[in-house]
Structure 1
């Protein structure tokens, strides 16, 4: 485990107990058994650490959702979408609870911007799924349906987390599919118009260039501590500059770097960039 990953995991334990504001850098370094100097070699500030943890948490969910919706039939996409979301919440209940509490309190502008970014990505994901499932049937009310689905998800997640109720993933997923079906079929008075829905036109993963990915590969190489990952990252860097390898080889190289959880996002983006199937 890299020093960065150690700090993130230990800090998350403290944040879960105390919240963001009440946890100091000194407490984090004491808990990790490292010096402040070692902390600041990895993160410029506590806020940068929090952003990194949020990125890690949200990106894992995004990757899982993307994989799910690409690999299930249309008639089961809604169920698997809800199941994936709530499975992630159950696995990371403490951090999900922190996010729900803290985003309504004293987060600074950078943290708020980060949360808004992921909120918009969620909007885009839901929109893409319901357009795929319902097509023209929801043309006039698709944006209202997106926010209705998000409201249901947030409401149930809040209820489950703060009442410490054991989660039945199959039941809640089927229940939300049923409610979505009712809304899709019977809502006839939309509120959100196409003009009002600018939030859906935001940054997408497809906007990562080869240069962006090169920098990410170089950063991953610095953090890698095993020979296979380093060799795979070196070849992937060469591939971004001069494409010569077959899709099968590229898939294998990307699988080699998935061993480190922090590389899952990079692997996901490389697969999209090289247009590889899962």
Structure 2
């Protein structure tokens, strides 16, 4: 996205947060950016399209920061804590964006935006599910989808306090606290033998196929970053085999799972291995 469009988005979101989406005119956005109304339409065909690209812009920013950590050689718990911290930081940095979503009751959720919101939700479910599997292991697979939903609800409540009530907290300490809460949740399932309501079969029904292909794009990006940073020859060879396999029109699941097994021997790459296995479901 070019810098002019980013400038328009960043100025527009401040006006939307202050006045609301419906009440903010294209002329006001143009004035705030120091451009003509005609110049606005050179970049965005409508205010609705601006709203869609606004969602896409902030989502991509957050995904980029989170994926940078995914490729780092950290233990699964440490990696998850860092990614929680980054998520909270990004949300807090773009407070106006969240306020707009909470306050605005008349956002035109057309088919394009509605599809995008659903896609974000599905990605979030996969993100948390993959991390929980990497941390707690395959033995906890039956719990991870429900735990993923619970963790997202927990995080949302903390974020509401930060954004809407403007409380000041140490983001790293909060991320560590959330990690401990996740421990309690996972231990509770095992201790009491409770059966989850949200099962893998349910999630397979609601997560569309195109999200799976978008997940592949994230995996390939992460593998390329590992390739740039890693010196261990076994890992480099494994990554090269994976990248070569994903270049094929019909990749072989057995090869992907075999390479995931090699990565799982290195605890810092268990998260990536979990994503690979999820993709092959």
TM-score, length of structure 2 as denominator length: 0.69
- CA distance, structure 2, for counterparts of residue 79 and residue 206 of structure 1: 21
Which of 183, 197, 200 in structure 1 is aligned with 2:203? 197
The alpha-carbon deviation at position 37 of structure 1 amounts to: 1.4
For residues 118-129 of structure 1, what are the structure 2 equivalents within 5 Å? 118-129=120-131
Compared CA separation, residues 153 and 12, structure 1 to 2 (3 A)? same
**Structure 2 CA distance for partners of 1:181 and 1:200, relative to 1, 3 Å:** farther
The 5 Å alignment of 1:214-225 reads none
Is 1:90 aligned with 2:89?
no
Query: Which residue of the other structure, out of 113, 138, 141, is the alignment partner of 1:139?
Result: 141
Distance 1:40 1:54 in 2: 18
Quick one: which of 172, 179, 182 aligns to 2:181? 179
Q: Considering only aligned residues, what root-mean-square deviation do their CA atoms show, in Å?
A: 2.5
Cα distance in 2 between the residues matched to 1:171 and 1:207: 32
Tell me the residue number matched to 2:165: 163
Which runs of structure 2 are paired with 1:100-111 in the superposition (5 Å)? 100-102=102-104, 105-109=106-110, 110-111=112-113
- 8 Å Cα contact 2:82/2:172 also seen in 1: no
1:69 paired with 2:75, answer no
Q: How does 1:11-26 map to 2 (within 5 A)?
A: 11-26=12-27
Q: Distance in 2 between matches of 1:179 and 1:2?
A: 40
Distance in 1, Cα, partners of 2:103 & 2:116? 15
**Structure 1 Cα separation of the partners of residues 97 and 187 of structure 2:** 35
Partners of 1:95 and 1:35 in 2: CA distance: 24
Partners in 1 of 2:78 and 2:13 — Cα distance?
Answer: 34
SS at match of 2:77: helix
**Cα distance in 2 for residues equivalent to 1:157 and 1:20:** 22
May I ask how many residue pairs the two structures share in their alignment? 214
- SS for the counterpart of 1:192 is coil
Q: Please give the alpha-carbon distance, in whole angstroms, between the structure 2 residues aligned to 1:200 and 1:178.
A: 28
Is contact 1:51–1:111 with CA below 8 Å preserved after alignment? yes
Partner-residue secondary structure (3-state), 1:140: helix
* Contact 1:65-1:85 within 8 A present in 2 as well: yes
TM-aligned CA deviation for residue 50 of structure 1:
1.1
Show CA shifts across 1:191-212 (max 9, x none): 012221133454233666xxxx
3-state SS of 2:201 partner: coil
Whether the 8 Å CA contact 2:9–2:54 is kept in 1: the answer is: yes
Deviation of the 1:189 alpha carbon: 2.4
Go from structure 1 to structure 2 and tell me whether the alpha carbon gap of 1:24 and 1:134 turns closer, same or farther (over 3 Å shift).
same
Q: Relative to structure 1, is the Cα distance of residues 139 and 67 closer, same or farther in structure 2, using a 3 angstrom cutoff?
A: same
Moved over 6 A (4+): none
1:25-36 aligned at under 5 Å gives the runs 25-36=26-37
So what's the TM-score if we normalise by structure 1? Answer: 0.70
| Greater length-normalized contact order (CA 8 Å, ≥ 6 residues apart) | 2
